Amino acid sequence: MNSNNDPINPTTDDVSANFIHDLIDEDLAPGGRFAGKTVHTRFPPEPNGYLHIGHAKAIVIDFGTAEKYNGLCNLRMDDTNPSTEDVEYVEAIQNDIRWLGYDWGGRFYYASDYFPQMFDFACRLIEKGLAYVCELTPSQIRATRGTLTTPATPSPYRDRPASESLDLFRRMRAGEFPDEAMTLRAKIDLNSGNFNMRDPVLYRILRAHHHRTGDDWCIYPMYDFAHPIEDALEDITHSLCSLEFEDHRPLYDWVIEHIDAPAKPRQIEFARLNINHTVMSKRKLRILVEGGHVSGWDDPRMPTLSGLRRRGYTPASIRNFIERIGVSKVNSMVDYAFLEHCLREDLNQNARRVMAVLRPIKLIIDNYPADRNEKFPVENNPERPEDGVREVSFSRELWIEADDFMETPAKGYFRLFPGNEVRLKSAYIVRCTGCKKDADGQVRVVHAEYDPATRGGSTPDGRRIRGTIHWVDAATAQTAEIRLYDNLFSVEDPDTADQEIINHLNPDSLEVLPDCKIEASLQGCRPPEAFQFLRLGYFCPDNVDSRPDALVFNRSVSLKDSWRPK
């Protein structure tokens, strides 16, 4: 990512300083652990689901840190558990990372590529008396692991001769034993207060078809054994991961030390990202998808990168968000409002303004000739005058927003109400003369008279017009479907409020407006183009359902609105 191509933050696109960078600075300093070395990080997703914004934090930290130090960052599929992984996710993961704006420069690896080396390292560990084949069942292992306060009891196989373990391990690999018959375990410390050190399992027998290695293997390494090896083989200097791996670090270091690894990466842990009113675990997101509570992994309400992309979030806004929330070791919950702020900040600068009416009612300008039509120039983006203007058609009948009219105005309301003047954006000042309602008492038509002297919305006499509203010429309007979104969950923290997250779903998280009126210039627009619908918010064509002849828009985020009755 070029640090100068961000229109919002031309000079602060790098990850800002944080405790990780302090540690790296120490490592790089003369006499430091990695003095003279190139900083090398990695992003190691497991291909068992779609990436979400929590992963974006890791991605920005991993790739951003490498960038900051002019180092390298590898992309590596951590595919050591074929029972949950699938090639389907591999491509999606790469797409999402590229979309965010990061490049791994050809250094795309699979943990499974290292299976042969891992097997060799394991054999060496056995020869050194540091690992043994254990024939305890899963439940027996659990039963002998001890408790918080009592140590583990030794496996009866703990002290079998290395030669015997080596033979069994090779036969495990050869497929001579059924799943769960035995494991390879490290021999470390049964008294440790850290469960990870109580003879952790290094390899298990697992007959599952691997998406890359097929049926070559029937034993697979555990994360704790595989990860440090992957890092070491790739000459990673800093292995950045989340907090829950903190007490795995002694084991990580143990593996690095005892396999005589070609490099000694340093693991540093940081806090995961949590955002209120949503969930951030693949498991829970999967519940939403498989339960049909959302339309899929890319439902615009989902915190997945594909969902955010479909919703209209830009890569820059997400990167900016991650950079600005900072990096620390405090379990935290970031306000969704801050993510929205970052999107607005980007789109305010870059989105073309356009007029659209979500809940249309007719405005008839009684003193405007029925056969007349004018074209008014309207600026495309007041933030960027160089973007110019477009011609917008105007005639006697217009669509306006239902809540831009009140028959009896609330206190402080300065839009359309009988007797009041309002400016039709870039067109004319009109005075409301009344309204017509349907049988249900709903206002269907508002009547007004325009002031010919106010062409373009100007007031030659200098009179002050408080309200300016948007409109769409009924004669040339297009109809579109617009989807409005709200929080997926009605509670701040659906993770802890209840295990049954479904009970906390916000029933109003999606509102579909099938009959919106949009200005003609929107015809043919395609994602990922973003628009500001004047006075309403930022919208973008849906990247799944929108068609040139049947536009569908998603509201990415509303505009802030400080209006409330006084």
Partner RNA sequence: UGGGGUGUCGCCAAGCGGUAAGGCACGGGACUUUGACUCCCGCAUGCGUAGGUUCAAAUCCUGCCACCCCAGCCA
- Which residues inside 322-341 make contact with RNA, applying CB under 7 A? 324-335, 337-338, 341
Please identify, using beta-carbon distances, which residue of 104 and 413 lies nearer to RNA.
413
Among 84, 163, 367, 499, contact with RNA (rule: CB under 7 A): 84
Using the rule CB under 7 A, is 457 a contact of RNA? Answer: yes
Contact segment (CB under 7 A) with RNA among 27-35, 134-142, 311-319, 520-528 equals 134-142
Report the residue number, 161 or 193, with the smaller CB distance to RNA. Answer: 193
Angle CA(391)–CA(389)–CA(428) in degrees, nearest 5?
60
CA distances from 402 to 59, 433, 445, 478 (A): 44, 16, 10, 18
Q: How many helices (H) and strands (E) does the chain have?
A: 13, 25
**197 touches 177 (CB < 8 A):** no
Which residue in the set 55, 57, 248, 555 belongs to the binding site for RNA (CB under 7 A)?
248
> Considering only residues 385-424, where is the footprint of RNA by CB under 7 A?
412-415, 423
Stretch that binds RNA, among 4-12, 16-24, 160-168, 480-488 (CB under 7 A): 16-24
Q: Please indicate whether residue 272 is annotated as part of the active site.
A: yes
312 touching RNA, by CB under 7 A: no
What does the CA dihedral 449, 452, 454, 460 come to, rounded to 10 degrees? Answer: -120
| Shortest distance in whole angstroms from residue 491 CB to RNA | 14
Q: What DSSP character marks residue 30? A: T
Residue of 124, 170, 212, 272 marked catalytic: 272
3-state SS track over 166-229? HHHHHHHHHCCCCCCCCEEEECCCCCCCCHHHCCCEEEEECCCCECCCECCCCEEECHHHHHHH
Cα angle at 513 between 511 and 519, to 5 degrees? 135
Among 33, 37, 46, 135, the active-site one is: 46
**In the annotation, is 257 catalytic?**
no
Q: Is 46 a catalytic residue?
A: yes
Q: For residues 26-55, which are near RNA according to CB under 7 A?
A: 44, 46
Options 200, 303, 312, 315; binder of RNA; rule CB under 7 A: 200
- Using CB under 7 A, pick the residue from 62, 67, 78, 323 that binds RNA: 78
- For the chain, helix, strand, coil in percent to 5 are 30, 25, 45
Nearest residue (CB) to RNA, 317 versus 543: 317
Is 530 buried (19+), middle (13-18) or exposed (0-12) by CB count in 10 A? buried
Least Å distance, CB 397 to RNA, is 20
Q: Which residue among 8, 162, 190, 201 contacts RNA (CB under 7 A)?
A: 201
Q: Which of 185, 249, 266, 282 is catalytic?
A: 282
Closest-CA residue to 483 (of 247, 314, 334, 300): 300
Choice between 13 and 299, CB closer to RNA: 13
Report the residue from 296, 467, 527, 528 that binds RNA according to the rule CB under 7 A: 467
Q: Which stretch binds RNA (CB under 7 A): 73-81, 98-106, 299-307, 435-443?
A: 73-81
From 18-26, 255-263, 306-314, 515-523, span contacting RNA (CB under 7 A): 18-26
Largest CA distance in the chain: 102
3-state secondary structure string across 224-279: HHHHHHHHHHCCCCEEEEEHHHHHHHHHHHHHHHHCCCCCCCEEEEECCCCECCCC
- Nearer CB in complex with RNA: 348/478: 348
Instruction: Specify the residue, 11 or 149, whose C-beta has the smaller distance to RNA.
Output: 149
Site for RNA in 503-532 (CB under 7 A): 532
Pairing of strands 552-558, 478-485: parallel
Residues between 90 and 119 with contacts to RNA, criterion CB under 7 A: none
Could you say whether residue 193 binds RNA (CB under 7 A)? yes
Q: Nearest approach, Cβ of 309 to RNA (angstroms)?
A: 22
Q: Does 550 bind RNA (CB under 7 A)?
A: no
Q: Is 37 helix (H, G, I), strand (E, B) or coil?
A: coil
Query: What is the length of the chain?
Result: 566
Judged by CB under 7 A, does residue 148 bind RNA?
Answer: yes
What span, in angstroms and rounded, lies between the C-alpha atoms of 527 and 529? 5
According to the binding rule CB under 7 A, does residue 81 interact with RNA?
Answer: yes
Can you tell me the distance from the alpha carbon of 63 to that of 104, in angstroms, rounded to the nearest whole number?
Answer: 8
By CB under 7 A, tell whether 175 contacts RNA. no
For 255, residues 6+ apart whose C-beta sits below 8 A from its C-beta are 186, 224, 225, 228, 229, 261
Cα separation, 74 vs 107, in Å, equals: 5
Residues 196, 253: contact at Cβ < 8 Å?
no
Of residues 417-456, those binding RNA (CB under 7 A): 423, 425-426, 456
Asked if 562 touches RNA (CB under 7 A), the answer is yes
How many chain residues interact with RNA (CB under 7 A)?
Answer: 92
Smallest gap from Cβ 520 to RNA, in A, equals: 19
Please, which residue, 467 or 527, has the CB nearer to RNA?
467
Query: What is the C-alpha to C-alpha distance for residues 163 and 186, in angstroms, rounded to an integer?
Result: 15
Catalytic residues: 46, 272, 282
